[in-house]
Amino acid sequence: METVLITGSNRGLGLEWARQYAEAGWRVLATCRRPEQAESLTRLARRHPGVSIHRLDVTLPKQVEALAGELAGERLDLLVNNAGVYFERWGRDRLGQIDYPAWMETFSVNTLGAFRVTEALLPCLVRSEKALVVNISSHMGSIADIQAPNDYAYRSSKAALNAASRGLAHELAARGIGLLLLHPGWVRTRMGGESAPLSVQESVHGMREIVQRFDLDQSGHFYRYDGVELPW
Ligand SMILES: NC(=O)c1ccc[n+]([C@@H]2O[C@H](COP(=O)([O-])OP(=O)(O)OC[C@H]3O[C@@H](n4cnc5c(N)ncnc54)[C@H](OP(=O)(O)O)[C@@H]3O)[C@@H](O)[C@H]2O)c1
């Protein structure tokens, strides 16, 4: 049985990653900040004995270390660094109104969080013959895509995730571990809003196909959920 660990899996895309891998018969280590409030995830775990729920705020080193300790000696085939935040409101993060603490928090979750978790779980990943780290990015992290003065914090956090992950892919490849940067598309979640065109099912289905077809030659590349490669 293959094992996947997902961050931020109590709602939105993370919950759907957990649901689809649970239904595919994988062992799912579903992490979230507040397991006691994760009702949908708890229902999923009741239906699928392969799903276990673990507490993890990706910004808290002690929680990351505790989880790595709990999983010591185990094998991890797939790590989905999905947890993310988007604090800006459209049109409000202009000069004179920039919320610097929120920008720092955005970096802490979206950029450092993925690294912190990957670094801590490396001993589990190296135990897999075909380990893969998926860092959930966004087309908004594509510098080539920026055509409007907005979303400074979110865009820069995902651009930094892309840049750092591209380098990390080389370090991981030397240990036989792959890395992908994936843009889920614009998806109906709390972050994406109700007018987004894509459902979580379509987005995660597409991303899982990319994962399934993954070859180490693709490591460090940046793809949209439908397989189109995106510009940096
Ligand atoms: N939806 C879109 O259109 C879209 C487009 C491009 C990229 N993305 C990316 O896709 C990923 C998932 O987004 P989503 O749309 O599913 O968003 P969402 O519905 O807002 O869910 C975000 C998830 O991240 C978790 N999270 C936030 N801060 C965390 C922390 N410090 N530690 C652990 N978990 C934390 C949240 O947990 P709580 O419930 O505890 O807050 C929640 O589970 C994000 O990385 C996002 O940037 C989404």
* CA-only gyration radius of the chain, Å: 17
Q: What is the pLDDT of residue 150?
A: 82
100 tagged catalytic: no
According to the model, what pLDDT value does residue 90 have? Answer: 59
**Residue 46: what pLDDT?**
98
From the candidates 21, 154, 223, 225, give the one annotated as an active-site residue: 154
| Distance from residue 11's CA to the centre of ligand 1 (Å) | 8
Q: pLDDT-derived band of residue 207, with 50, 70 and 90 as boundaries?
A: very high
Question: Among 101, 91, 79, 93, which Cα is nearest to 8's?
Answer: 79
At 24, which helix (H) or strand (E)?
none
Q: Which residues contact 43 (CB under 8 A, 6 or more apart)?
A: none
| Model pLDDT, residue 149 | 81
pLDDT at 89 over 70: no
pLDDT at 60: 98
Hey, what amino acid is at 33? R
**From ligand 1's centre to the CA of 92, what distance in Å?**
20
d(CA 226, CA 147) in angstroms, rounded, equals: 23
> Looking at ligand 1, which atom is closest to the CA of residue 108?
31
- Identify the structural domains of the chain with CATH numbers, from first to last: 3-224 (3.40.50.720)
Encode pLDDT of 47-80 as tens digits: 999 999 999 999 999 999 999 999 999 999 999 9
- Nearest of 37, 227, 225 to residue 137 by alpha carbon: 225
Question: Between these two residues, 200 and 98, which has the higher pLDDT value?
Answer: 200
pLDDT of residue 91 exceeding 60: no
Q: Which residues line ligand 1 (CB under 6 A)?
A: 7-8, 10-14, 32-34, 56-59, 82-85, 109, 136, 138, 183-184, 186-187, 189-192, 196
User: How much is the average pLDDT of 153-178?
Assistant: 97
Strands of 27-32's sheet in order across: 51-55, 27-32, 3-6, 78-81, 132-136, 178-183, 221-224
State the Cα–Cα distance between residues 43 and 100, nearest whole angstrom.
38
Condensed to tens digits (0 to 9), the pLDDT of residues 93-152 reads: 788 888 899 999 999 999 999 999 999 999 999 999 999 999 999 999 999 988 888 899
Q: Whose CA is nearest to atom 33 of ligand 1?
A: 57
pLDDT at 94: 82
pLDDT digits (tens, 9 = 90+) for 12-52: 999 999 999 999 999 999 999 999 999 999 999 999 999 99
Residue nearest to atom 26 of ligand 1 (CA): 83
